[in-house]
Amino acid sequence: MIEPSLALQTAVRSTLLAHPAVTDLVQPDRIRAGSTRPDKFPCVVLSGASTQYLGRASGDQHLARVNVDLNIWAIEDGPDTAKAIGFAVSRALIGMADEQDGFSIDQLDQPRLIWLRDPQPELAFTHGILEIAAVIRWRA
């Protein structure tokens, strides 16, 4: 398995790309990992990943808690479009498979979705952040 946060980001992106309710609202090439403000809208940008190693488990397995932020950006129809995307993303992640390529998801939570005002209100962007917290397990 690749590093736990990268593995989870890859699985999240694959899940979103396979969910028509998401791809009807966001073009697939605009669902990506990154760390900068996007230039194409609407989009979902995975960023802010962190990993906390939780230790070994039985059967030579390892556990980690992984947090990833999904930044939801929209400009067309502002908050309505962004919130529709956020809801579609949330629903897709609720149905995410527990067994992934090289690891298993023992717990997946969406503890918070916040909507932020754009620091440049004249641009009319809507930006939301959906936090994801997961406990994943893999074999060494």
Torsion of CA 7, 51, 12, 137, to 10 degrees: 60
Residue 24: CATH number of its domain = 3.30.2000.30
pLDDT at 36: 80
* Positions in the chain whose pLDDT score sits under 50: none
pLDDT at 57: 92
> Do residues 136 and 8 touch, judged by C-beta distance below 8 A?
yes
pLDDT at 78: 65
Q: How far apart are CA 122 and CA 127, in angstroms?
A: 14
Domain count, the chain: 1
Q: Which domain holds residue 38?
A: 4-139
Residues in the chain: 140
> Do residues 72 and 128 touch, judged by C-beta distance below 8 A?
yes
Predicted TM-score (pTM) of the model is 0.93
Query: For residue 69, how many C-alpha atoms fall within 13 Å in the half-sphere facing its CB?
Result: 14
> In the structure encoding, which two tokens stand for residue 96, read together?
């995410």
pLDDT at 25: 97
